[in-house]
Every structure is written in C-alpha cells, then in structure tokens.
Amino acid sequence: MKERLAMAVHDEIASLVRRAAEIVVFSGAGLSADSGIPTFRDGATGLWNNVDPDEVASIDGFMRNPRVVWNWLRELKNLVDDRQPNPGHRAIARLERIVADKRLTVVTQNIDGYHSRAGNADVLEVHGTIHRLRCHARCGFADEWGEDLREPFPCPQCGAPARPDLVLFGEALDPEVFTAAGRRSARADVFFCVGTSFTVQPAAHLPVWAKASGATVVEINPHRTPLSEVADYSIRAGASQFFAALCQTLAPDAVDATDA
C-alpha cells in the first residue's frame, strides 16, 4: 500500500493506464458529492445519519409502507434531476475517450445515472437506477419514473406493486449485472475505486476480486477506508481533482469540447 499525494503519483498511474488493456472505474456516492448529492455515511450530511434506511430504503419498509419509501426516493430523484454530473464524472468520460483503444468499464453503486449523462458508454449500475420503475414481481413492466408518478401504483400488467428499479436493503443485486461487473473486475489491469466507503457487500468485494486477479487497485478517497490497506495506491484526493489531473497527464494537449 502506498499513500502519497495525488500529484506525485499521476505519472506512475498514467503509465499503468497506458499499458493496460482493460480498465474499470468503480464508483460510489463520494463521486457525486461535488454535484451536491449527499453521500450516505459522511458526517452530519450523510443520508443514513439523518433517516433510518430500514424505513425509507429497505424492501421490508416498502412492504410495510410503500408510500414512505416512494416519497423519500422521489425526493432524492428530484434532487438528482435538479443537479448534474460534475467535473469528476466528466473527467471519467473524457478518460474513456482518451483510452479509446482499450476497454473502460464504469461499475457504479450510484443510482443517479450521472456517468451515462456525462458520456460514458459502458456503465454497469449494480445498485440499479432511480430513473426507472419496474414491476416488483418482474412481470416485464418497466417505465421511466416520470414527473407525474408521485404515488405508488399497481403494475399495469399484473397488479403487483410498481417500484423504483433500484436495489433496496434486504434485496439481492441483479445477478446478470453483478456477474458482468465481476467478470470485468477480474479482467481489469487497472481498477480505480473512487468515492466509496467500501462497506456495502457484495459490491465492496469487486476491488478484492480485481486485486486477486492481478489488477493494480487505485483508491481515490479523501479519507481512509478498509480498502486503503489492500489497494496498491490509496490517494487522498477528491474524485474531480484526481481524474482531471490524470486526464491532463495522459493527454496534455487534447482539446475536448465537452470538458468544463
């Protein structure tokens, strides 16, 4: 484990990226912090420090009182709709364009859809998305979560409850998406782990798989996490600062009209 200032390691990390065939960027709530979306566990602003996840974001809570879960997630969706991808998301999208000859996969725990909005093409949302509703019984019904859908309603196809298409506490991850994320992680030469406290399983296992399969694991987080012990590089920096600097090192002369 090497803990160094971000600026000092950019050349080293850039060399690793240049030599890599497969790259994974694994992201968590800290990446969207610069967009004004609160993380789950940071200090006074952490969402789970202010509401009980069992009430507002668990499958048991949804079965007990769907309206409470629906309303809380609806508010979160309004905030996500109101804000936008930040320079960190845009730099990761730019990184994909810089390494266009390689495979770059984003594996995200975030439900905000900002990676795709920023321009990344290959995004695996292991915790689902707040932008879509689906039938709880998985009869096939799915729809965009439109502005007008403010109340829980039964699935128009089978009558089971309709619900946001994200993973609630007490539920399993979509096996297809998680298997794909596991495969990409195992094939990665460089595995970036950004903005996650590394506490929620099974997603938190992906960097461990990547490392066990031979990837260089690079953590970017202003604070130490359990991954800091395991990562090859544990960089104390914000996501936006790190990825913007990495892109600058990799492509100093590139002019990219989509950069902000």
Nearest-angstrom CA–CA distance, 77 and 3: 36
Q: Closest by alpha carbon to 127, among 92, 78, 165? A: 165
Residue 87 touching ligand OAD (CB under 6 A) = no
Number of Cβ within a 10 Å radius of residue 157: 12
Closest chain position to ligand OAD (CB): 30
Concerning whether 127 is annotated as a catalytic residue, the answer is yes
CB of 253 to ligand OAD, least distance (A): 27
Q: Which is nearer to ligand OAD, 78 or 157 (CB)?
A: 78
Catalytic residue (choose from 10, 89, 115, 127): 127
Query: One symbol per residue from 28 to 67: x for binding ligand OAD (CB under 6 A), - otherwise; what is it?
Result: xxx--xx----xxxx---x---------------------
> Which of 74, 89, 94, 127 forms a contact with ligand OAD (CB under 6 A)?
127
Contacts of ligand OAD in 148-187 (CB under 6 A)? 167
> Which of 133, 181, 194, 246 forms a contact with ligand OAD (CB under 6 A)?
194
CB of 55 to ligand OAD, least distance (A): 13
Both tokens of 116, joined, read: 């795709």
Residue 197 touching ligand OAD (CB under 6 A) = yes
Contact 231, 217 (CB under 8 A): yes
Q: Tokens 């936008």 correspond to what residue?
A: 84
> Both ends of the chain: CA-CA distance in Å?
33
Both tokens of 216, joined, read: 């260089």
Rounded (to 5) percent helix, strand, coil in the chain: 40, 20, 40
> Which of 239, 244, 245, 247 forms a contact with ligand OAD (CB under 6 A)?
239
Nearest-angstrom CA–CA distance, 147 and 136: 20
Q: Closest by alpha carbon to 127, among 110, 142, 115, 144? A: 110
CB of 188 to ligand OAD, least distance (A): 19
Instruction: Locate all alpha helices (DSSP H) within 24-123, ordered by sequence.
Output: 53-56, 59-64, 66-82, 87-98, 114-118
Q: Which is nearer to ligand OAD, 31 or 99 (CB)?
A: 31
Q: Which is nearer to ligand OAD, 244 or 250 (CB)?
A: 244
Cα three-residue angle 117-108-103, rounded to 5 degrees: 80
Q: Which is nearer to ligand OAD, 223 or 253 (CB)?
A: 223
Residue 118 touching ligand OAD (CB under 6 A) = no
Binding footprint of ligand OAD on the chain (CB under 6 A): 28-30, 33-34, 39-42, 46, 109, 127, 167, 194-197, 199-200, 220-223, 225, 238-239
